Structure 1
Amino acid sequence: MIGATITTVTALALASCTLATESGEDASGTPDRSAEPGSTVVLVTHESFKLPKKLIRRFERESGLELEVRPAGDAGSLTNRLVLTGEDPIGDVAFGVDNTFASRALEAGVFAEYDAPVPPGAEDLAVPEGEGRLAPVDQGSVCINVDTAWFERSDLEPPATLDDLTDPAYEDLLVVPGAPTSSPGMAFLLSTIAEYGEDWPGYWEDLMANGAKLTDGWSDAYFVDFTGGGGGGKRPIVVSYDSSPAFTVDERSGETTTAALLDTCFRQVEYAGVLANAENPAGAEEVVDFLLGEEVQAALPENMYVFPVDGETELPEDWARFAIQPDETYSVDPAEIAENRAEWLTEWTDVTTR
């Protein structure tokens, strides 16, 4: 951010510039948007946000800001809170609203104008109606994941398609994060809408009748209920990401113990943006730039299970082997999501709570 500058040495110009700076403008009358050194900037984000402490410390040292990270549940809960607190936001900048929830936040005027400089390869990931307000930070695909080691031990062929999940052979084996509170959950709902059209409620009826379990967020589904998540869970099928198999590599064999079903995927992009009515908008802009920087982009895969949007970022070795991205993914037009979101979620809630 560029602060106010003094361009002359005459007493009159100095006095004029000083008064302008104190009133929040530079000598030309342009509002001063420099972040105040030593001030706090609050980043509101989802529960899965994680970056190396050394990167955060470096940002604080170089910017002169203190970064406070304020988790607000999964992406769905995050979006809901941002909308409900729009007039008096709970932070200065938000990260984690994704393409399945972005339309709601944009319609509610949650984000302020800030045309962040996005890295190479990220231009095509922007939300059309959010250009200049939301910057793409990471991307990946939400897919059904299976614990291949569990299926081998159980002498059972794992499922391969959405249809397979309703087969009695997989009764009580699936765990799904809820659509209203979780961005992976919402992405999975959209996958079923894209696949089954108006018949999607019937598919969910069959899914629930086959013993699918719902959780509030992805973390509970993956780390608590999923057998391959390390938490002693009992369900070997979970809604997760195409990158997840890169994190379940067995140290002895060097092979992954899980797999993403690449015919079940929905592309997800997560965004960052300055919050309207933020107390520290200049600091918020610096945080957005920080998230788009080379070091954070390189840290995303091993810290948040997602692909960077910077097409020039080198991926970790395990990702080249096991984080396989699908050639094709399900998609639903953002305008259709915006128009039907409330109705879809109401119907989804009715079906899954019967």
Structure 2
Amino acid sequence: MQRMIVAGLTAVALLALSACGGAPSSGEAGAPSPTQTDKLTVVTHDAFTLPDELKAKFADETGLEVTYVAPGDTGTLVNQLVLTKDSPLGDVVYGIDNTFASRAASEGVLVDYESPLAASTQEFAAPQLTPIDFGDVCINADTAWFEAAGIEIPSTLDDLTDPVYKDLLVVTNPASSAPGLSFLLATIGAKGEDGYLDYWQALSDNGTKVASGWTEAYYTDFSGADGKGPRPLVLSYSTSPAYTVDGDTSTTQALLGTCFRAVEYAGVLHGTTNEAGAQKFIDFMLSPEVQAAIPENLYMYPVIADTPLPKDWARFAPLSEVPFEVPAEQIGQHRDQWIRDWTEAIG
């Protein structure tokens, strides 16, 4: 399983960000000592659910008074960081993903830091953003629904436009949802800039619903998991079926031919008054205890190789062997325009 991790992260926005480096960061030769106070503010997306005991452990070991601030989902998080870069919301950020990484880097909201614990993920590192976890955004299917209906579960993006699946799919809005943006990028990777809107029009003509966010789609519109909705196909993650296990099977499955690889990072915020504490928090996120807690709390794969995974993940949370990819440079240059074009045509 861990070999798949290294193979899967090849072209995901990481190496392209390495060009964003500049002056030496604190701790390097010729750099000033990092600033330090007894308080630390961590800015995260609103899905940051690390166990309280681990948060307490970090505070106890560092002696820091730690506050967590969550302004919203990934897109909102990055927007707020950009808007407040002259008066930063905190000292360190976790939750910027590869769909927004280029914006955060280019807007100057971060400073360089390379954690000594990132050695085993060297090929994933970028000067300003340290990868912490990753996972695949994919369409999920309610297997029981399809079995009862006598309909074959779709497997590809093109299958989703087949009339047999009319009114069965719910996805999320790329303008308001990080998974939605990842799925938009999957369709661009699959169909190209000249074809993705035609594909989306075909989805729309086939009755695809666009929800505002993942929670609404998964828990209200989706018929599987805890939902009682009418739609047996939903945009979620390849790890989601590991959390719908009933006995020795799962009631849902990820369609691994529809995936986009998402990577989440941590970084030191420009203008922090506690750069030393921010660096310690990034190191903490790469510690064995936190990496081991990521799957069952953040529902992502840890980046550190050989981190133990939950026993169900080998069967029920596989990664796609061929996720769709869009080069980081293209995402940075065209993301906002793609969202505007999608909104005008579909949204």
Determine if the alignment matches structure 1 residue 212 to structure 2 residue 208: yes
Would the aligned equivalents of 2:291 and 2:303 in 1 still touch at CA under 8 Å?
A: yes
Q: CA deviation at 1:31?
A: 4.5
The CA distance in 1 between the partners of 2:75 and 2:31, in whole Å, is: 37
Counterpart in the other structure of 2:14: none
**Normalised by the size of structure 2, how large is the TM-score?**
0.87
> Is it true that 1:170 corresponds to 2:171 in the alignment?
no
For residues 21-36 of structure 1, what are the structure 2 equivalents within 5 Å?
31-33=32-34, 35-36=36-37
The answer to whether residue 275 in structure 2 is matched with residue 244 in structure 1 is no
Q: Structure 2: how far apart are the matches of 1:96 and 1:146? A: 26
> Which residue identity lines up with residue 76 of structure 1 in the other structure?
G
Q: Give 1:179's aligned residue.
A: 174
Structure 2 distance, partners of 1:111, 1:187, is: 23
Shift of 1:247: 0.8
1:334 matched residue in structure 2:
328
Higher relative contact order (CA 8 A, sep 6+): 2
Equivalent residue letter for 1:64: G
Q: Offset at 1:268?
A: 1.2
Q: Give, in angstroms, the shift of residue 187 of structure 1.
A: 1.2
Pick the aligned partner of 1:317 from 300, 311, 331: 311
Deviations 1:200-255 (A, max 9, x none): 101111112222222333233223322223143332111111111111101xx321
Does 1:157 pair with 2:152? yes
| Structure 2 gap segments, 5+ residues each | 1-29
Q: Find the aligned partners of 2:117 and 2:176 in 1 and give their Cα distance.
A: 28
Q: Which residue of 2 aligns with 1:288?
A: 282
Name the CA shift for 1:227/1:35 in 2 (closer, same or farther; >3 Å).
farther
Counterpart residue number, 2:300: 306
TM-fit CA distance, 1:160: 1.1
Matches of 1:281 and 1:214, distance apart in 2? 41
- Write the deviation string for residues 115-135 of structure 1: whole angstroms up to 9, x where unpaired: 222445422223xxxx22100
2:187 is the alignment partner of 1:192: yes
2:92: which partner in 1? 93
SS state of the match for residue 99, structure 2?
Answer: coil
1:33 maps to amino acid: P
**What's 1:274 paired with?**
268
- 8 Å CA contact 1:113–1:274 kept in 2: the answer is yes
Q: Which residue of 1 aligns with 2:220?
A: 224
Contact 1:75 1:96 in 2 (8 A): yes
Over 3 Å counting, the alpha-carbon distance change for 1:314 and 1:346 in structure 2 is same
- Give SS of 2:114's match: coil
Quick one: distance in 2 between partners of 1:336 and 1:231?
A: 36
Which whole-Å CA distance do the structure 1 matches of 2:108 and 2:206 have between them?
A: 40
Partner of 1:4: none
What's the TM-score, normalizing by structure 1? 0.85
Could you tell me how far 1:148 is from its partner in structure 2? Answer: 0.7
- In structure 2, the partner of 1:123 is 122
The count of residues paired between Structure 1 and Structure 2 equals 319
1:145 to 134, 140, 146: 140
| Pairwise CA distance, 1:174 | 1.4
- Write the distance in 2 (CA, Å) between the matches of 1:53 and 1:80: 27
Q: Gaps spanning 5+ residues in structure 1: where?
A: 1-28
Query: Taking structure 1 as reference, are residues 191 and 227 closer, same or farther at Cα in structure 2, changes over 3 Å only?
Result: same
Q: Which residue of 1 aligns with 2:258?
A: 264
Partner AA of 1:206 in structure 2: A
User: Using the alignment, how far apart are the partners of 1:216 and 1:289 within structure 2?
Assistant: 34
Q: Give, as a single letter, the amino acid of the residue that structure 2 aligns with 1:202.
A: D
Describe the superposition over 1:67-113 as per-residue Cα deviations: whole angstroms up to 9, x where unpaired. Answer: 22212222112111111221112222111111111011111111112
Cα RMSD (Å) = 2.0
Distance (Å, rounded) in 2 between the aligned partners of 1:30 and 1:347: 44
**Greater CA drift, 340-349 or 116-125:** 116-125
Q: Helix, strand or coil: the match of 1:133? A: coil
Decide whether aligned partners of structure 1 residues 211 and 279 sit closer, same or farther in structure 2, where only a CA change above 3 A counts.
farther
| One-letter identity of the residue aligned with 1:194 | G
- For 1:157 and 1:50, the matched residues in 2 are separated by 36
Contact 1:74 1:217 in 2 (8 A): no
- Note the C-alpha offset of 1:159: 1.3
